[in-house]
Amino acid sequence: MAEKRENVVMFPFMAQGHIIPFLALALLIEKTRNYKITFVNTPLNIKKLRSSLPSDSCVQLLEIPFNSSEHGLPPNTENCDVVPYHLVVRLLEASASLRPVFKQLVEDIIRQQDVLSGAGGFGLACYYSIWLNLPHKQVKKDGGDHFLLPDFQEASKIELTQLPLTMSVADGRDSWSIFHHKYLPEWTKSGGILFNTVEEFDDIGLVYFKRKLSKPVWAVGPILLSTENRIRASTGGATPEYCKAWLDSKPEKSVLFVSFGSMNTISPSQMMELAKALELSGRHFIWVVRPPIGFDINSEFKANEWLPEGFEERMRESEKGLLVNKWAPQQEILSHKSTSVFLSHCGWNSVLESLSHGVPLLGWAMAAEQFFNVKLLVEQVGVCVEVARGKTCEVKHEEVAAKIKLLMSDSEKGKEMRRKACEVREMIESAMKDDDEGGFKGSSVKAMDEFFHAAGTMRFQTHTPNQLNGTNQPRVQRVDDF
């Protein structure tokens, strides 16, 4: 009789920033362990994923039905990347409708799930604490400008300007508050939490969740998709080959990479200021451009309307800058020897990709826990200079250009931050090291081993043989998104 394999069922939230690390985790588990993996999501997301699976992968992609129109969303809206930001909370609420179908899928063979967080420990700890406590409400009433978290004082003071808009205006009765107050406490029902992070530089947040939830916490990152399995935009963008050829023509450590992720953009005035800053800095750059706020983020970019007159032509003729519409091969760019600094929204996937290649960051947080990621990188890790806060903030091009020059120059500050970024890269490499011959395992590898050992123990305690439909069925480990 063939040996029955244990199962891992994964169900990430409908956003690329969540789906990508889950897929990377699925491929990592498939490569290193004898598990059957089922990857669950809605039809359009599964369709997009099919081309990203290696031809020899046995990961099963499973669709569960979802009709966005039934939830007040535009037709075929199954991913945050294609929905206007003001409707994101509606997609969050609609995602709850998928629970019964998913539960039915696994209810016969599982009672408990684990949570995989695609975010970092510190950023998510701040996010979790603020949504559950809303400590800034009273501070705003009193005219203050900063506050402490009642259950996470290790985070030190948080300024009101470090809050994403949805959090800043939350009063406990709004839709975002209601959603988070309903679902975040359910983390206490999990068997534990996996974090896509590295404990050596992100331990404060991990300690918070151990204390807060009284559950195991495993730092198993960085979990990143290989370049062969990347998920790219269906239209627009630049090929890896084109970007590599452009970067090959530039001196080592001379290029600034600018990208705010697939869901974010800035105001028209700030887009003008950023373009002026890039030109004023005199540095080479690759900029992934998307239409500014007020326009469809997935539409064609109109350089003649949204950038200074003649900017695109000057950058092309001087070969100083490369403008890329919608999508660029981020990992290939960050790993290239010509790339020096990353101007980023500091979504956690982007942070991990940057630091995995020893590239320091210029932080311009836009939403969610990104503001707290920047706080960690600036105050605790020392690999980031904050440029601005939020999508609609006002910052002058002279200020942005000065920070670009600071980080890319031979100043003591610039050299120190580049050195620290290289140290973090070495931490990451050590955490992921798995030397069977030498017997050394990095912290993330050991954490993954501990997770699967704990998962097997929990499954054994929950389901002994012959309990499930009278058969000795394979065990299933379910991994949900936060």
First to last CA, the chain: 38
Domain that holds residue 45: 1-111+463-482
pLDDT on residue 110: 52
What radius of gyration do the chain's Cα atoms show?
Answer: 23
Please, are residues 447 and 196 in contact by the beta-carbon 8 Å criterion?
no
pLDDT at 31: 86
Contact assessment for residue 201 and residue 431, using Cβ atoms and an 8 Å cutoff: no
Domain boundary among 174, 196, 221: 221
d(CA 135, CA 147): 7
Q: What's the predicted TM-score (pTM) here?
A: 0.83
Domain boundary (164, 189, 221) is at 221
Q: Are residues 160 and 240 in the same domain?
A: no
What is the per-residue pLDDT for 236? 60
CA-CA distance, 361 to 363, in Å (whole number)?
A: 6
Q: Is residue 437 part of a domain?
A: no
Which has the higher per-residue pLDDT, 367 or 227?
A: 367
Distance CA 357, CA 412 (A): 21
Q: How many folded domains does the chain comprise?
A: 3
Euclidean distance between CA atoms 128 and 115, whole angstroms: 14
* Nearest residue to 372 (alpha-carbon basis) of 151, 145, 128: 128
* In a shared domain, residues 278 and 377: yes
Residue 192 has pLDDT above 90, yes or no: no
Calculated CA dihedral for residues 480, 351, 442, 418, nearest 10 degrees: -170
- State pLDDT tens for residues 397-413: 999 999 999 999 988 99
**Are 79 and 138 in the same domain?**
no
Cα separation, 57 vs 38, in Å, equals 12
Indicate whether 73 and 125 sit together in one domain: no
Task: Let me know whether 131 and 54 are in one domain.
Answer: no
For position 360, what pLDDT does the model report? 98
pLDDT digit string, tens, across residues 411-432: 899 999 999 999 999 999 999 9
pLDDT band at 87 (very low <50, low <70, confident <90, very high): confident
Whole-number pLDDT of residue 481: 55
Mean pLDDT calculated for residue range 364-392 = 95
Choose the weakest-confidence range: 4-13, 63-72, 99-108, 446-455. Answer: 99-108
* Amino acid 70: pLDDT: 87
Of 366 and 104, the one with more pLDDT: 366
Residue whose C-alpha is closest to residue 397's, from 308, 285, 274: 274
Q: Are 23 and 89 found together in one domain?
A: yes
pLDDT score, position 233: 52
In order of 8, 18, 31, 303, 319, the CA distances from 36 in angstroms are 6, 21, 11, 48, 49
Examine the domain organization and report whether 41 and 156 are in the same domain.
Answer: no
Weakest mean pLDDT among 24-28, 341-345, 475-479: 475-479
Q: What pLDDT was estimated at residue 459?
A: 55
pLDDT of residue 174: 92
> 159 and 244: one domain?
no
Q: Are residues 96 and 134 in the same domain?
A: no
Q: In the predicted model, is pLDDT for residue 151 greater than 60?
A: yes
Q: For the domain that residue 74 is a member of, what is the CATH number?
A: 3.40.50.2000
Contact (CB, 8 A) for 344 and 333 = no
SS (H, E, C) the chain: CCCCCEEEEEECCCCHHHHHHHHHHHHHHHHHCCEEEEEEECHHHHHHHHCCCCCCCCCEEEECCCCHHHHCCCCCCCCHHHCCHHHHHHHHHHHHHHHHHHHHHHCCCCCCEEEEECCCHHHHHHHHHHHHHCCHHHHHHCCCCEECCCCCHHHCCEEHHHCCHHHHCCCCCCHHHHHHHHHHHHHHHCCCEEECCCCCCCHHHHHHHHHHHCCCEEECCCCCCCHHHCCCCCCCCCCHHHHHHHHHCCCCCCEEEEECCCCCCCCHHHHHHHHHHHHHHCCEEEEEECCCCCCCCCCCCCHHHHCCCCHHHHHHHHCCEEEEECCCCHHHHHCCCCEEEEEECCCHHHHHHHHHCCCCEEEEECCCCHHHHHHHHHHHHCCEEEEEECCCCCCCHHHHHHHHHHHHCCCHHHHHHHHHHHHHHHHHHHHCCEECCCCEECHHHHHHHHHHHHHHHHHHHHCCCCCECCECCCCEEEEEEC
More confident residue, 241 or 228: 241
Domain annotation covers residue 226: no
Which of these, 368, 95, 347, 328, lies nearest to 232 by C-alpha position?
Answer: 328
Q: Give the pLDDT mean for 36-40.
A: 88
Residues 473, 110: contact at Cβ < 8 Å? no
pLDDT tops 80 at residue 330: yes
> Quick one: which of 40, 160, 108, 213 has its CA closest to 470?
108
- Domain end, chosen from 221, 246, 277, is at 221
Give the pLDDT band (50/70/90) at residue 471.
very low
Query: Which of 95-99, 189-193, 454-458 shows the lowest mean pLDDT across its residues?
Result: 454-458
Q: Does residue 231 surpass a pLDDT of 80? A: no
Least-confidence region, from 22-36, 176-190, 431-445, 450-464: 450-464
> What pLDDT does residue 476 have?
41
pLDDT score of 297: 80
Do 94 and 19 lie in one domain? The reply is yes
Q: Confidence class of residue 99 from pLDDT cuts 50, 70 and 90?
A: confident
Closest by Cα among 123, 124, 198 to 423: 198
Beta bridge partners of 99: none
**Which is more confident, 98 or 308?**
308
- What average pLDDT does the chain have? 87
Return the amino acid letter for 122.
Answer: F
Q: Is residue 360 part of a domain?
A: yes
Q: Can you tell me the mean pLDDT for 372-395?
A: 95
- Residues in Cβ contact with 35 at an 8 Å cutoff, skipping those fewer than 6 apart: 5, 6, 7, 8, 29, 477
- 271 located within any domain: yes
Residue 174 lies in a domain: yes
Residues 123-149 have a mean pLDDT of 92
State the Cα–Cα distance between residues 37 and 478, nearest whole angstrom: 10
Q: Specify if 126 maps to a domain.
A: yes
Q: Binning pLDDT at 50, 70 and 90, where does residue 465 land?
A: very low
Q: Taking 70 as the threshold, does the pLDDT of residue 163 lie above it?
A: yes
Determine phi and psi for 52, rounding to 5 degrees: -95, -10
51 plus 176 within the same structural domain: no
Q: Which tokens belong to 31?
A: 């490569």
